[in-house]
Homo-oligomer: A and B are copies of this chain.
Amino acid sequence: MARVTIREIARRAGVSKGAVSYALNGQPGVSEETRARVLKVAEELEWVPNPVARQLSVARSETFGLILARPAQTLSEEPFYMAFVGGLEGVLSERSYALALRTVPGSEEELAAYRKWSREKRVDGVVVVDIKADDPRIPLLKELGLPTVLVGDPSLSEGLTCVWTDSTTAMGEAVDHVAELGHRHVARVAGPPDHGHVWIRDQAFAAATRRTGLTAEVVHTDFSGDQGASATRQLMSSATPPTAIIYDNDLMAVAGLSTLGNLGVRCPDEVTLIAWDDSALCRITHPTLTAMSHDVVGYGAEVATRLFDLLEGAEPAAHLYSTPKLQTRQSSGPPRR
Interface residues in chain A, defined as those with a beta carbon under 8 Å from any beta carbon in chain B: 46, 48-53, 55-56, 61, 63, 71-87, 89-90, 93, 98-104, 116, 119-122, 224-226, 228-229, 251, 254-255, 257-262, 279-281, 283-286, 296-297, 300
9 residue pairs bridging A and B, Cβ less than 8 Å apart = A72-B86, A72-B87, A72-B297, A73-B86, A75-B82, A76-B279, A85-B101, A226-B280, A229-B284
CA of A122 to CA of B255 in the docked complex: distance in angstroms?
A: 42
CA of A147 to CA of B30 in the docked complex: distance in angstroms?
A: 40
CA of A224 to CA of B55 in the docked complex: distance in angstroms?
A: 41
- Using Cβ atoms and an 8 Å threshold, which residues of chain B touch A297? 72-73, 76
CA of A168 to CA of B21 in the docked complex: distance in angstroms?
A: 56
CA of A296 to CA of B279 in the docked complex: distance in angstroms?
A: 22
- Using Cβ atoms and an 8 Å threshold, which residues of chain B touch A53? 56
Assess whether A120 is in contact with B51, with CB atoms less than 8 Å apart: yes
CB-contact partner of A82 in B46, B72, B99, B254, under 8 A: B72
Is the contact region of chain A dominated by helix, strand, or loop, or is it mixed?
A: helix
Assess whether A284 is in contact with B226, with CB atoms less than 8 Å apart: yes
CA of A61 to CA of B53 in the docked complex: distance in angstroms?
A: 11
A189 to chain B, nearest CB (A): 13
CA of A74 to CA of B77 in the docked complex: distance in angstroms?
A: 14
Assess whether A89 is in contact with B101, with CB atoms less than 8 Å apart: yes
- Using Cβ atoms and an 8 Å threshold, which residues of chain B touch A50? 120-121
- Using Cβ atoms and an 8 Å threshold, which residues of chain B touch A100? 98-100
A188 to chain B, nearest CB (A): 19
Assess whether A90 is in contact with B75, with CB atoms less than 8 Å apart: no
Assess whether B71 is in contact with A76, with CB atoms less than 8 Å apart: no
Are A76 and B86 CB-contacts (below 8 A) given A55-B52, A61-B52, A262-B286? yes
- Using Cβ atoms and an 8 Å threshold, which residues of chain B touch A93? 102, 104
Assess whether B76 is in contact with A82, with CB atoms less than 8 Å apart: yes
CB closest chain-B residue, reference A61 = B52
- Using Cβ atoms and an 8 Å threshold, which residues of chain B touch A71? 86
CB closest chain-B residue, reference A118 = B48
- Using Cβ atoms and an 8 Å threshold, which residues of chain B touch A258? 284-286
Please name 11 further chain A to chain B contacts, defined as beta carbons within 8 Å, in addition to the given A72-B85, A98-B100, sorted by A numbering: A51-B120, A52-B121, A72-B83, A72-B87, A73-B83, A86-B103, A89-B103, A228-B284, A254-B285, A255-B284, A281-B281
